[in-house]
Amino acid sequence: MVTTRFAPSPNGPLHLGHAYSAIVAHDLARAAGGRFLLRVEDIDGVRSKPELAAEFRADLQWLGLEWTEVPAQSSRFASYDDAAQRLKDMGLLYSCNCTRADIAAAAVEAGPEGPVYPGTCQGKNIPGEGAAWRLDITRALARTGTLHWTDDLAGQQRAVPDQAGDVVLLRKDAPASYDLAATLDDARDGVTLVTRGRDLFSASHIHRLLQELLGLPVPRWHHHALLVDKSGTKLAKRRGSPSLADRRLAGEDGQKLAQALRQSRFPAGISLDPS
């Protein structure tokens, strides 16, 4: 059974890029007679706006999609703690109190997500209270050996989680990082095909490592191309892309819009990023 999901964070309204992503995930599941899930990724209590979850459901319905909703991340904190404790027991996490500025100043090179953390706090036993916890990638890889994963579009990949440095798994300001929470939730929700934009491709290297360390099932991935504007920039509400809610409330036909997106007929100035 193929199970896909759409996992928006309720920190801003959905726009056309989200609609495209949800439709890709929905249609891949439907074509295989499988399930399409909605999971609200409200791990970040500070930035999440609870009222947006209802708006997301209204948007998906307007697009003509059908889904099964699974529990939001805010109801799953205990499972994140539990997994983090297991990684701590394996000696794979270390506490870190570096600020962004510390990291930028000490970083030797910039990775795809910004400067790579140079390991400043490793071995220092910083008091855990109020600190972030990072995964010691070198130790983790020594334990798992070489790993592979498969993207339906990009083919087989050798996992290179080390390119991002020692990632934070427990944040100072939230119960878990996106990487830990999403990996655990995808396993728990029985997701077999992780469908999302290519901007999150590099995260999948880390997720594959976490799956191996925590004994989770390994899905396949489908990282679709992103919708971009005339300047080649990813769509975002703050750069003036109208939200789906704006379009819906203005009386636009959502099912027609969904059909157009399926056929790669995009509104003026919007296209799929070929890179």
Interacting residue with ligand GLU among 2, 9, 139, 201 (CB under 6 A): 9
Of the candidates 196, 222, 224, 247, which one interacts with ligand GLU according to CB under 6 A? 196
What's the DSSP call for residue 189? Answer: T
**Contact of 182 with 207, CB cutoff 8 Å:** yes
Identify which of residues 9 and 97 has a Cβ nearer to ligand GLU in the complex.
9
| 41 vs 136, beta carbon nearer ligand GLU | 41
Q: What's the min distance (Å) between Cβ of 3 and ligand GLU?
A: 14
Select 21 or 95, whichever has its Cβ closest to ligand GLU.
21
Secondary element (H or E) of residue 162: none
Q: Does 122 bind ligand GLU (CB under 6 A)?
A: no
| Contacting residues for 204 by C-beta, under 8 A, at least 6 apart | 149, 151, 157, 194, 221, 223
How far does Cα 89 stand from its chain's mean position? 26
Contact stretch for ligand GLU (CB under 6 A) within 6-14, 29-37, 102-110, 254-262: 6-14
Specify the stretch interacting with ligand GLU by CB under 6 A; choose among 2-10, 63-71, 134-142, 232-240: 2-10
- Structure tokens given for 194: 């992780």
If one counts every other C-beta atom within 10 angstroms of the C-beta of residue 246, the result is 13
Size of the site for ligand GLU (CB under 6 A): 7
**Helices 254-262 & 51-62, crossing angle to 10 degrees?**
70
CA distance 185 to 176: 12
Q: Which range touches ligand GLU (CB under 6 A), out of 1-9, 131-139, 142-150, 247-255?
A: 1-9
If one asks whether residue 70 binds ligand GLU (CB under 6 A), the answer comes out as: no
Burial of 147 (0-12, 13-18, 19+ CB in 10 A): middle
Which of 3, 4, 7, 140 touches ligand GLU by CB under 6 A? 7
Least gap, CB of 39 to ligand GLU (angstroms): 8
Q: Which residues bind ligand GLU (CB under 6 A)?
A: 7-9, 41, 182, 196, 200
